[in-house]
Amino acid sequence: MALAHLDALEAEAIHLMREVVAECRRPVMLWSVGKDSAVMLHLALKAFHPAPPPFPFLHVASGWDFADLIAHRDATVAAHGLDLIIASAPPEERAAITPFTASSDVYAETLLTNPLKAALAEHGFDAAFGGGRRDEERARAKERMVSLRSASQHWDPKDQRPELWNLYNLKCGPGESCRVFPLSNWTELDVWHYIAREGISIVPLYKAALRPTVERGGRLIVVDDDRMPPGEAPRLRMVRFRTLGCWPLTGAFPSEAADIEAIIAEMAAATTSERAGRLIDDGAAASMEAKKRAGYF
Amino acid sequence: MQRSLLRFITCGSVDDGKSTLIGRLLHDSGSVAADQLALLKAEAARTGSAPDLSLLVDGLAAEREQGITIDVAWRFFGTASRSFIVADCPGHEQYTRNMVTGASTADLAVLLVDASVGLKEQTRRHATLCRLLGIRTMILAVNKMDLVGHAEAPFRAIAAAFADLAASLDIDDVSAVPVSGLSGANVTEPSPLMPWFEGPSLLALLETAEPRGSELGPSLRLPVQAVQRLPDGTRALMGSIVAGTVRPGDAVRLLPSGKTSRIARILGSAGDRPSARAGEAVTVTLADTLDCSRGDVVASTDAAPEIADQFEATIVWMDEAALKVGRGYWLKLATQTVTATLRPPKHVLNVNTGEKLAARTLALNDIGVAELATDRPLVFEPYAQSRTLGGFVLIDKLSRRTVAAGMIHFALRRARNIAWQALEVTREARASLKQQRPAVLWFTGVSGSGKSTIANLVEKKLLALGQHSYLLDGDNIRHGLNRDLGFTEADRIENIRRVGEVAKLMADAGLIVIAALISPFAADRAMVRALLPPGDFIEVFIDTPLAEAERRDPKGLYARARAGAIRNFTGIDSPYEPPLNPEIHIITTEESAEAAATRIVDYLLARGR
């Protein structure tokens, strides 16, 4: 009798985490504090129990993070005694660039991608766990669970190492590193079912609540602090988030789903894919692949 | 109810309508989000055609430019009872490696055939590769039934031809289903267009197929990934169970050491667990403190896996740089990593015809059978019994690329290590009882050089000194242990090997072994040297010029060889390779047998105890 679906996915992820810890010199877990990160942390705690996860957790903080997310991060770190590394852009760049004034490309590169690359290089990490899933996006569907990055953090989709059985080639040359995706074979719904089954604590923003919102460019933006440029008055709406990024750039949507079971019911009836914004605006669906080649996680 | 998981691979080319069929499966099982469908419809409206479901599974930019699938892409969909992970693999030849990758984790294979074309060379290739990777359940999807008017006859003919092919490849579980990816007929629901077909739809077949799941067999197999020390000092072994179940109290054997113990605890984050089974990632402790590290395998005591360092295996070469015979590659099997060297392939397989062809090496996408040797013994099982303990990858040590996948057939008989029973009394203990340091004095030299004479003198002197020794004389052993061997090159090598193994056992027992054999080939003497701990093999070259030996001719053998009565006689019609760097060099024309024997015993005593 084979393992049930979620048990098989859990075992596969734990096996991969242990392989990385056994073979790599200095692994790190990239940790956005979102729902996929919450599952990753839970798996890491299970994999190495009773010891704590034998690697640090790296959070890239843009300075425009939701206050609830930072609070959840710090509470989680304290609860589990995690080794947390916070990566941020230099103060002068953070002062110069805001999500309201800079283009989204410049914003993401300066406040997110560059600090990530700098932190990976500074600490000499040779393996970085990420929560990426193959169902998220068409380019990801072809990525290996262990994916080699060149010294300049580039990915070459046409020259990936074959990955057979559950044997992972984690050998890196000087400056090279591996990106490791233990949730590769999970779907978004699997993540929610697992959160429900295991009772995993998540940032409350995923659950519907009355929040002060404004409409910007067709999206509902939750006003998280007083840096919002003046304009329309915020309106209280019952909303929640499907993914979490920087608050001025992440759209909420109207929902009544205030607990995990309701979220799953809503998800099961979902009519929109997770990265809906990207799929609609780039048409060719090639932008993610271009970003990945350039080192975007 | 818990949903089950099925992993399958789809094989076929772009011409067979594979992307459309997978797109249809995703679409008709309700796994496509509304915004993606809207995109498809917008695209269709622009081109004035029906929505192209194949766009749902297109991926990389490079591939869209070429209009083909160039790599393994993974798809996910589900029904109420089951989740599916689909490895979508390309059909054309240069990407064999991707198909092998996809097949390695698949429970079953869906092979696509164009109903208007019938079986093609690639159909045999796909079936062969899937079978090679251990897939025994296949579904033949005869696609594009719309092109043959949904008629029964063409479907039956193709299904019958495939049944023959499958039988020839020893594939036991085959179903055929007529479908149309374009119209959706028989993909998820039976179609009124083909009332003559009474079998289940493709999706129904997938929902009811038996997953391979974990590996068969009740005996525990737990390869150790890592060991952690608990706060109380106990060692906890972490790993994924390959086969069998585990419970506290179970008797287990740790391989390759062979030491036995019992499972003490199965640790879980919510307290200790009463049991765990195949497929699960676990952390266990043992009742005894045993040396254990990554690569060891915890197994049931009743049926343990084999241990060997030479194998025959099927190798699939996956790199642009061809195999270099004799070069060391990293070999990764379960959690073991060793260095492996390959011999020249016995043959390569033409996957289109099933022919076996001669080859000197393996190039990209070649599939061959070769023997390989590892620098350390591997705990393994044949691939047919265990994907995890029988499947391996080879990694180039310089480029660090994964260059090949391999599947072990069996251990070579000469390498099979059946003595995995750990011995409690050690070699050191036995030697110290005798108050001597074991050694193998290996006398080599042409016939009549004086080996036996000097060896006898050495043994007498050792006896006088109270040392325990034994003399293995080549001629005497040929009367007993080796009486089945002749003087061909192969028999001579076997003769040396047997004497070498006996000498090793005796040295292990604490004896000073004196072996006197012509042993003309340097490679054979090196083989015996490698059997023993460093420093214990002492090569003694009894150096007598051939002319002098022939003049002495104590047994009259040279005369008979010259007369042609003996073939393959060393020095006459078979070469003698003198040692280049022997530990002791005796030139018998310059040193008496007595002086030589004294010098050899002095050498032994100087080594200490």
- The residues that bridge with B555 in the sheet, in sequence order, are none
Examine the pLDDT at A277 and tell me if it is beyond 70: no
CB B298 within 8 A of CB B307: no
Q: Would you place residue B422 in the very low, low, confident or very high pLDDT band (cuts 50, 70, 90)? A: low
**Does position B75 have pLDDT exceeding 50, yes or no?**
yes
B60 to chain A: which residues are within 8 Å by CB? 139, 142, 157-158, 289
Identify all chain B residues contacting A181, using CB atoms and an 8 Å cutoff: none
Domain range annotation of chain A: 5-190+286-294, 202-272
Residue B342: closest CA among B302, B315, B367: B315
Distance between B570 CA and the closest CA of chain A, angstroms: 50
Rounded to the nearest integer, the mean pLDDT of chain B is 87
Decide: B120 and B147 in contact? Cβ < 8 Å: no
Nearest CB to B4; choose among A4, A139, A283:
A4
Instruction: Check A162 against B36: CB less than 8 A apart.
Output: no
The answer to whether A94 contacts chain B (CB < 8 Å) is no
8 Å CB contact of A276 and B283: no
What DSSP character marks residue A109? I
**Nearest-CB residue to B281 (from A11, A160, A280):** A11
Chain A residue whose CA is closest to B34: A271
Segment B302-311, tens digit of pLDDT: 888 999 999 9
Of A48, A141, A279, the CB nearest to B75: A141
Would you say A198 and A176 are in contact if contact means Cβ atoms under 8 Å apart?
no
Confidence category of residue A271, pLDDT binned at 50, 70, 90:
low
Identify the closest residue of chain B to A173 by CA–CA distance: B400
Closest CA to B4 of A177, A230, A5, A224: A5
Q: Which H or E element spans position B543?
A: strand B537-543
Upstream peptide bond of A254 is cis (omega within 30 degrees of 0): no
List chain A residues with CB under 8 Å of B401.
161, 169
Residue pLDDT, tens place only, A192-214: 999 999 999 999 999 999 999 99
Q: What is the pLDDT of residue A286?
A: 42
For residue A167, list chain B residues with Cβ-Cβ distance below 8 A: 332-333, 391-393
Partner residues linked to B540 by β-bridges: B443, B584
- On whether the CB atoms of residues A167 and B332 are closer than 8 A, the answer is yes
Q: Say which of B35, B73, B211 has its CB closest to residue A279.
A: B35
Kindly report the nearest CA distance between residue B389 and chain A, in angstroms.
Answer: 11
Mean pLDDT of A264-274: 71
User: Which of A5, A11, A185 shows the shortest C-beta gap to B280?
Assistant: A11
For residues A125 and A141, give the distance between their C-alpha atoms in angstroms, rounded to a whole number. 25
Closest CA to A21 of A51, A1, A42: A51
Q: What is the pLDDT of residue A268?
A: 75
The reported pLDDT for the residue numbered B414 is: 62
Q: Is the pLDDT of residue B370 over 70?
A: yes
Cβ atoms within 10 Å, residue B357: 12
Mean pLDDT value across residues A50-59: 95
Give the three-class secondary structure for B550.
Answer: helix
Q: Kindly give the interhelix angle for A188-198 and A35-48, rounded to the nearest 10 degrees.
A: 60
Banded pLDDT at B214 (limits 50, 70, 90): very low
Architecture of domain A5-190+286-294: 3-Layer(aba) Sandwich (3.40)
Least confident of A42-56, A83-97, A229-243: A229-243
Instruction: Tell me which chain B residues have a C-beta less than 8 angstroms from the C-beta of A47.
Output: 238, 281
Asked whether the predicted pLDDT for residue A279 surpasses 80, the reply is no
Question: Which residues, in sequence order, are CB contacts of A148 under 8 Å at separation 6+?
Answer: A155, A160, A161, A172, A176, A177, A178, A179
Mutate to test the interface with B, among A46, A167, A189, A291 (most CBs of B within 10 A): A167
Residues of B with a known catalytic role: 519
pLDDT at A272: 56
Mean pLDDT computed over B509-530: 89
Quote the CA–CA distance of B457 and B449 in Å, as a whole number: 15
Q: Which residue of A has its CA nearest to B294?
A: A22
> What pLDDT was estimated at residue A274?
54
pLDDT tier, A293 (very low <50, low <70, confident <90, very high otherwise): low
Structure tokens at B143: 């696609």
Residues of B in contact with A6 (CB under 8 A): 2
Q: Residue A80 pLDDT more than 90?
A: yes
Dist CA B372 CA B94 (whole Å): 26
Closest Cβ–Cβ partner in B4, B225, B402 for A169? B402
User: Across residues A232-237, what is the average pLDDT?
Assistant: 89
Determine the residue among B26, B32, B36, B381 to mutate to test chain A binding: the one whose Cβ has the most chain A Cβ atoms within 10 Å: B36
What is the predicted pLDDT for the residue at A261?
A: 93
Query: With 0-12 CB in 10 A as exposed, 13-18 as middle and 19+ as buried, what is B472?
Result: buried
What proportion of chain A, given as a percentage, has pLDDT over 70?
89
Contact flag B281-A7 (C-beta cutoff 8 Å): no
Give the domains, in start order, of chain B with CATH numbers: 4-208 (3.40.50.300), 221-300 (2.40.30.10), 308-414 (2.40.30.10), 427-606 (3.40.50.300)
What is residue B607's predicted lDDT score, i.e. its pLDDT?
82
Secondary element (H or E) of residue B606? helix B593-606
Burial of A284 (0-12, 13-18, 19+ CB in 10 A): exposed
Compute the distance between CA of residue A16 and CA of residue B567 in angstroms, rounded to an integer.
Answer: 60
Report how far residue B280's alpha carbon sits from residue A169's, in angstroms, rounded to the nearest whole number. Answer: 22
- Which residue has tokens 């049931």? B300
Contact A3, B279 (CB under 8 A): yes
Gap from A259 CA to chain B (nearest CA, Å): 22
Q: CB of A176 within 8 A of CB of A186?
A: no
**Range scoring the smallest mean pLDDT among A164-173, A222-231, A247-256:** A222-231
**Which whole number is the average pLDDT over B171-198?**
92
Q: Would you state the pLDDT for residue B137?
A: 92
* A252 or B46, greater pLDDT: A252
Asked whether the beta carbons of A206 and A240 are under 8 A apart, the reply is yes
Cα→Cα distances A128→A31, A144, A145, B400, Å: 10, 14, 12, 18
Q: Are B99 and B129 in contact (CB under 8 A)?
A: yes
**Strand, helix or coil for residue B526:** helix
Please give the average per-residue pLDDT across B101-129, as a whole number.
91
Q: What average pLDDT does the segment A146-161 reach?
A: 81
Residues A30-59 have a mean pLDDT of 96
pLDDT higher than 90, residue A216: no
pLDDT for the residue A281: 33
**Span A73-77, mean pLDDT?**
97
Chain A CB contacts of B277 under 8 Å are: 3
Interface test with B, best of A20, A164, A264 (most B CBs within 10 A): A164
Q: How far is B201 from chain A (nearest CA, A)?
A: 23
Share of chain B above pLDDT 70, in %: 93
- pLDDT, tens digit (0-9, with 9 covering 90-100), for B38-73: 777 777 777 777 777 777 776 444 445 544 445 678
- Position B330 pLDDT exceeds 90: yes
Compare B326 and B139 and report the one with higher pLDDT: B139
- Do residues B132 and B33 touch, judged by C-beta distance below 8 A? no
* Cα angle, residue B113 at apex, residues B109 and B114 outer, rounded to 5°: 155
Is residue A48 less than 8 Å (CB to CB) from chain B?
A: yes
Q: How far apart are CA B77 and CA B32, in angstroms?
A: 9
Q: Cβ separation of A139 and B59 shorter than 8 Å?
A: yes
Any chain B CB within 8 A of the CB of A197?
A: no
Q: Which of residues 146-165 of A touch B (CB under 8 A)?
A: 157-158, 160-165
Closest chain B residue to A269 measured between Cα atoms? Answer: B33
Q: How far is CA B115 from CA B92, B120, B175, in A?
A: 19, 11, 15
Give the nearest partner residue to A139 out of B35, B60, B267, using CB atoms: B60
A51 contacts B71? CB cut-off 8 A: no
- What angle separates helix B121-132 from helix B96-104, to the nearest 10 degrees? 40
- Is residue A26 helix, strand or coil? coil
Report which DSSP code applies to A113: I
Residues of chain B with Cβ-Cβ distance to A8 below 8 Å are 5, 279
Which range (A192-206, B76-90, B207-221, B237-251) has the least confidence?
B207-221
Report the residue of A165, A189, A194 to disrupt the B interface, i.e. the one with the largest count of B CBs within 10 Å: A165
**Statement: residue B139 has pLDDT above 90:** yes
Q: Which residues contact A122 (CB under 8 A, 6 or more apart)?
A: none
Query: Which of B518, B485, B516, B519 lies closest to B503, judged by CA?
Result: B516
A141 touches chain B (CB under 8 A): yes
How far separated are the first and last CA of chain A, in Å rounded?
37
Average pLDDT, chain A: 87
Q: What is the pLDDT of residues B456-493, one digit of tens each?
A: 999 999 998 888 999 998 888 888 888 888 877 777 77
Length of chain B: 609
User: Residue A7's closest CA among B343, B268, B371, B497?
Assistant: B268
Helix (H, G, I), strand (E, B) or coil at B108: strand
Report the b/e string of B490-518 with b at 16+ CB within 10 A. Answer: eebbbbbbebbebbbebbbebbbbbbbbb
Looking at the complex, report in whole angstroms how far the Cα of residue B30 sits from the nearest Cα belonging to chain A: 10
Strand B367-380 and strand B347-349: pairing?
Answer: antiparallel
- Crossing angle of helices B489-508 and B522-531, rounded to 10°: 20
